[in-house]
Amino acid sequence: MNTIERLATLNRIRRLSRLMDTAIGIPGTKFRIGLDPIMGLIPGAGDLISTAFSAYIIYLATRFGLPKEDLGKMIFNIGLEAVVGAVPLIGDLFDAYYKSNIRNLAILEQHLQATQPEIEELDSALHDPKEAVLPR
């Protein structure tokens, strides 16, 4: 995967993570929720669909060569949210606060900053062309 493809994959992970965990602002507060706790309100299928989205995000993240420790943390985050999320109402509140996809995004971005800084440089260049030089 070249740098442009890695950046596209990273941005897909960012969009999906934010959609699932922080897409909707609660009026009058700084608190945000995503589709994850909303889908969890659908008995049975909602938590299964949310977990499938989260598993897809992890699948995309594996393309970046994450170490097993980081991958284990990400799987733990998803597993914890899936297990606790299965409890009616309490699980949905847990989903709204725990935000496993955003946690996993942070793990991935920390890994990328340490191992593949050119992705961050390219991302900066695309968002603020005056600040960075595009690689040739």
Task: Supply the pLDDT for residue 128.
Answer: 57
Query: What is the rounded distance in angstroms from the CA atom of residue 61 to the CA atom of residue 22?
Result: 19
Please report whether residue 42 resides in a domain: yes
Instruction: Quote the number of domains for the chain.
Output: 1
Domain of 29?
A: 3-127
Q: Is the model's pLDDT at 15 over the cut of 90?
A: yes
Residue 136 within a domain = no
Residue 23 DSSP class: S
Look at residue 105 and tell me whether its pLDDT is greater than 60.
yes
Question: pLDDT band at residue 25, thresholds of 50, 70 and 90?
Answer: very high
Q: Is residue 132 part of a domain?
A: no
- Which has more confidence, 80 or 3? 80
Over residues 53-83, the pLDDT tens digits come to 999 999 999 999 999 999 999 999 999 999 9
